[in-house]
Amino acid sequence: MRLLEVTDLRVSFPTPDGVVQAVRGVSFGVDRGRTLGIVGESGSGKSVSTQTLMGLTRGATVTGAALFEGRDLLTMPREELRRLRGARIAMIFQDPLSSLHPLYRVGRQIVEMIRVHEPEVGREQARGRAAELLGLVGIPRPAERVDDFPHQFSGGMRQRVMIAMALALNPALIIADEPTTALDATVQAQIIDLMVRLQREFDTALIMITHDLGVIADIADDVLVMYAGKPAEYADRRTLYYRAHHPYTTGLLESIPKATGTRERLQPVPGQPPSLIHLPPGCVFHPRCRHVMDRCRSEEPPMLAVAGEGHRSACWLPGAAVGPGAEAERLRDEAQAAGTRRRDKGEGDVAPAD
């Protein structure tokens, strides 16, 4: 049994303008000692999905199932979920400054967290553990720094405090939502290094949510790409980077300058993501897709198995057409030609940039 198994999760928010369909049927799972990366741009639903698991999306309409250690997080009583949160599942957020209380010493905040879940632990003992944790995440002179306030730490050090807090009760799963986005490159490297090391040490499962394909390349075992509330592609890390199937994944990879330094023109994905209130019919990506076919405009593709084990993609293109190679490109072009009867260019075609 997997540690966490999410099936067909759907989340929507009623608003005065209409129902925002933030997540529309996403399934994923993660095992102990493994890292699942969830990539997507703003509005892709990557954060909402995991916040829903933690019961942090108040007022949302939620359906689906999320089995964690065999119990459904979505239907369990709030009190029970509260006991799990922090103890069995911990969360690290993007902005450590607003996640820490500015008026309390960091030690006290860690102690509080330990004692809420384990009331039998004494104050002094919990304090000792807090200092130990700060040392573990690489904060110098932990015994003294326990008594510092959040503003006395730098951004990277604050994120270490957050990680120490997340580890305090030895959780089985850590959900990290853009943990390095607010940090500089050298600090980001420190934090990723630390997270990988701690994960190995404690055999924790990790869900890493980010928009940064570089971070995913460093840390994830498997990757889920999300677009407009739906899963676009799921694969192991190498497959995703070198043998991607979904045109959106390819588009993302071609949007970033190559590491080799060639100055070939970037190939941005034209247009912009759709409104989550008024979604396009058929495949949600079709208005921006390079390989759009007739059926894409009316039929929504499910996650289909494509070339390679465990590789799935929500796209009507032939399953063998993976990666940037000439053969795959030929397959894609053929499929597109065969699947496009209407030749008239016009409405419904690729939208102009922006």
Partner 1 sequence: MSLLRIEDVRKYFPIKEGLFVRREIARVHAVDGVSLEVNPGETLGVVGESGCGKSTLARCVTGLHPVTSGRIVFDGQDVTRLSGRGLKAFRRDVQMIFQDPYGSLNPRRRVGSIIADPLVVHRIGDARARRRRVQELMELVGLNPEHYNRFPAEFSGGQRQRIGIARALALKPRLIVCDEPVSALDVSIQAQVINLLTDLQGELGLTYVFIAHDLSVVRYVSDRVAVMYLGKVVEVAPGEQLYREPRHPYTYSLLSAASVADPDASAARSRVILAGDVPSPITPPPGCRFHPRCPKAQARCSTEEPLLLGVEHRAACHFPVEPGERLTGATRSGDRP
Given 189, 277, 305, 320, the residue binding partner 1 (CB under 8 A): 189
Amino acid present at 261: G
Half-sphere exposure of 334 (CA within 13 A, CB side): 9
Q: Would strands 205-210 and 173-177 be described as parallel, antiparallel, or unpaired?
A: parallel
263 contributes a contact to partner 1 by CB under 8 A: yes
Residues in region 18-47 near partner 1 by CB under 8 A: 41-42
Q: For partner 1, which is the closer residue by CB, 267 or 298?
A: 267
Task: Specify the residue for token string 């247009």.
Answer: 271
* DSSP string over 6-32: EEEEEEEEEETTEEEEEEEEEEEEE-T
Those residues with Cβ within 8 angstroms of residue 245's Cβ, 6 or more apart along the chain or in another chain: 233, 235, 306, 307, 311, 313, 315, 317, 319, 321, 322
157 contributes a contact to partner 1 by CB under 8 A: yes
261 contributes a contact to partner 1 by CB under 8 A: yes
Q: Which residues pair with 12 in a beta bridge?
A: 21, 61
Q: Which residues pair with 61 in a beta bridge?
A: 12
97 contributes a contact to partner 1 by CB under 8 A: no
Q: What secondary structure letter does DSSP report for 162?
A: H
Given 14, 122, 268, 324, the residue binding partner 1 (CB under 8 A): 268
266 contributes a contact to partner 1 by CB under 8 A: yes
Half-sphere exposure of 22 (CA within 13 A, CB side): 21
The span from the CA of 282 to the CA of 309, in Å, is: 27
Burial class (CB in 10 A: 0-12, 13-18, 19+), 143: middle
Given 267, 330, 333, 334, the residue binding partner 1 (CB under 8 A): 267
Q: For partner 1, which is the closer residue by CB, 91 or 139?
A: 139
Given 211, 295, 297, 339, the residue binding partner 1 (CB under 8 A): 211
Write out the E strands in 108-246: 173-177, 205-210, 222-227, 230-236
Q: For partner 1, which is the closer residue by CB, 101 or 141?
A: 141
193 contributes a contact to partner 1 by CB under 8 A: yes
326 contributes a contact to partner 1 by CB under 8 A: no
Of the listed pieces 74-82, 215-223, 297-305, 321-329, which binds partner 1 according to CB under 8 A?
215-223
196 contributes a contact to partner 1 by CB under 8 A: no
Of the listed pieces 198-206, 266-274, 314-322, 338-346, which binds partner 1 according to CB under 8 A?
266-274
CB of 65 to partner 1, least distance (A): 30
Of the listed pieces 16-24, 53-61, 260-268, 337-345, which binds partner 1 according to CB under 8 A?
260-268
Interface mask toward partner 1 for 129-148; x: CB under 8 A: --------xxxxx-------
CB of 194 to partner 1, least distance (A): 6
Cα-based distances in Å from 256 to 124, 222, 265, 321, 352:
50, 20, 10, 22, 20
Site of interaction with partner 1 (CB under 8 A): 41-42, 137-141, 154-157, 160, 184-190, 192-194, 211-218, 237-238, 241, 251-259, 261, 263, 265-270, 272-273, 352-354
